[in-house]
Amino acid sequence: MEAKRYTSDDIAVAMSLQTYTYVYTSMATLWAYDCSCSLQEEWTFLLQSHWTKVKGLYIVTRFVPFLLIIGHLYTNFIPNENPDKCKILINICSIISQISGSCSECFFMLRTYALWKHNRFVLIVMLTFFPVVVIACAGTGLASIVTASYATSTIPGITGCCTSDNLFIPFLLFFIFQLGLMCLTLIHAIQSWRMASGRLYAVLVKNNILYYTCGLFLSAVNVLASYYLHYHATFQDLQFIILAILALRMHLHLWQIDQQAHNMDTLVCISLSDI
């Protein structure tokens, strides 16, 4: 019996699907490891902290990536030869991915707003540009997905489906927005570096700069890869997973420092009352 010959396109699709599988399996492992490492600290935070909008944002940011990972693992591991079903699954994952990225950014928009001591001008700037960036990213991303082609592997044993969408514009907009937020943080840090004091303030500034640096680097990699390497956003969700982990870890760290400061103030008050 003559062996079936596959074209170069068939081999390229199969290699892309294998890459998708490796990437999303790594993402699932990373996310599960992060959850297991911070489980006790998060449980303490959820039990002891007051119910606020930020706490609700924390819960959403923690669980939305689960849906994203489950959706992509289902898409990559379940045999699927229907391009229409593939298109629906990828569209759903794309929407969840944008929600996850937006939640992470909201954390640091609130931090930047608090850093500027609730400056109204900063609030207006963020509330003006953030919806514009979200709508533009969603519009260009969905337009790219609609016009993209979807393919499944003809080689036995390789499951999943992939798309040829290019997300150069969304990542460029995301890069510009994060650059603006980082500039706001740096401007305030430079203006207040002599007057500001306290560990909480220092951690807030350092966390903001670290988060924006990581976000800018990952966005720049995706922008350059999309433009020069005809890269089709294989690692777009990896960026949002990493940013979500950073946002959650940094918020948990900030809350713990705030709790330690309150405890120290309580101890001082007790010792002074005893005197």
Find residue 49's DSSP bridge partners.
none
Q: Is it the case that residue 238 has pLDDT exceeding 70?
A: yes
Higher pLDDT, 187 or 163: 187
Convert the pLDDT of each residue in 44-61 to its tens digit.
Answer: 998 888 888 889 999 999
User: Phi and psi for 6 in degrees, rounded to 5?
Assistant: -110, 145
pLDDT at res. 147: 63
Q: What is the mean pLDDT of the chain?
A: 80
At 257, the pLDDT band (50, 70, 90 cuts) reads: confident
pLDDT tens track for 126-145 = 888 888 888 887 777 666 66
pLDDT digits 0-9 by tens, 101-124: 899 999 989 988 888 888 888 889
CA distances from 199 to 112, 114, 127, 132, 258 (A): 17, 15, 29, 35, 9
pLDDT of residue 90 exceeding 90, the answer is no
Closest CA to 167 of 238, 216, 101, 94: 94
Residue 270 confidence class, pLDDT cut points 50, 70, 90:
very low
pTM of the model: 0.86
pLDDT of residue 61: 93
HEC states along the chain?
CCCCCCCHHHHHHHHHHHHHHHHHHHHHHHHHHHHHHCHHHHHHHHHHCCCCHHHHHHHHHHHHHHHHHHHHHHHHHCCCCCHHHHHHHHHHHHHHHHHHHHHHHHHHHHHHHHHCCCCHHHHHHHHHHHHHHHHHHHHHHHHHHHHCCEEECCCCCCCCEEECCCCHHHHHHHHHHHHHHHHHHHHHHHHHCCCCCCHHHHHHHHHHHHHHHHHHHHHHHHHHHHHHCCCCCCCHHHHHHHHHHHHHHHHHHHHHHHHHHHHHHHHHHHHHHHC
Contact 86, 161 (CB under 8 A): yes
- Position 84 scores a pLDDT of 75
